[in-house]
Amino acid sequence: MVMSSSHIYSKSNPDVVNINTANKINVKRYKQNGQIQIYQSLHRGSYPSIIRDSLRNAALGRKVLLIQFMKGGVNQGVDNAVKLCGNLTWVRSSHSLDQYNSEAIENNKNLKESIHESTTELWNFCKKELQSGENDQIILDEIFLAIEMKIINKDDLISTLENRFISGDVILTGTDIPKDLLLMANQITELRS
């Protein structure tokens, strides 16, 4: 995070004009948003450095939300998030793609619907968090796979990112990234093995 100390500089430099906005009425306040960072890899599960960095940020006092859309956990879901370092909230889907083999999912309509519903529940939770302004960093792990599987709508993600309110960064990971989202990114990192 970059902090400006222009007020100190202006006092010591007579060539700088200090503009006082305290007396102005109708000063519009804009949302402060961090960057959108995309991490792309050819293989799923190539993001341990992102998880490591999220733990480091949480230990340094930043409030971090890590959402894993396609990874499941025992008794997880929105209501059973794991808290680490006091500042990292780690949420996995209650029923996820990785808990079952692909054949079992395709052959079981109820299981497929359950995975879809729990991923949608996780996305709705993410949308609220992206607009709440309560987190310093939000990581949406494998969100592009959820888009590819047509569980999350790409346009809904774009709209949510455009209307987000977060002082820190939003990190998105995945393998196949839609062009529209690549164009929104402030930073794109390709991870290689």
Is 44 a member of any domain? yes
* pLDDT (mean) for 1-16: 41
pLDDT of residue 37: 92
80-118 pLDDT tens trace: 888 888 899 999 887 776 666 777 777 878 877 888 888
pLDDT score, position 18: 44
Residue with more model confidence, 72 or 113: 113
> Is pLDDT at 127 greater than 90 in this prediction?
yes
Range(s) of the domain holding residue 51: 38-191
Amino acid identity of 10? S
In a domain? residue 70 = yes
Q: Report pLDDT for 32.
A: 54
State yes or no: pLDDT of 6 exceeds 60: no
**Lookup: tokens for 151:** 């569980």
Calculate the average pLDDT of the chain. Answer: 79
Mean pLDDT, residues 31-36? 74
Q: Given a cut of 50, is residue 3 above it in pLDDT?
A: no
Residue 15 DSSP class: T
Q: Is residue 14 part of a domain?
A: no
111 inside domain:
yes
C-alpha span between 92 and 73 (Å, rounded): 6
Asked if the structure places residue 32 within a domain, the reply is no
Other beta carbons less than 10 A from residue 52's beta carbon: 10
Cβ(118)–Cβ(77) below 8 Å: yes
Give the confidence band of 123 by pLDDT, cuts at 50, 70, 90.
very high
pLDDT of residue 30: 40
pLDDT in tens, 41-70: 876 665 678 888 888 999 999 999 999 888
Q: Does 15 map to a domain?
A: no
Does residue 29 fall inside a structural domain?
no
How many separate domains does the chain show? Answer: 1
Q: The sheet that has 137-141: what strands, in order across it?
A: 82-84, 88-93, 64-72, 137-141, 170-174, 36-41, 187-191
Residue 95 lies in a domain: yes
CATH code for the domain in which residue 112 is found: 3.40.50.300
Work out the number of other CB atoms within 10 angstroms of the CB of residue 109: 9
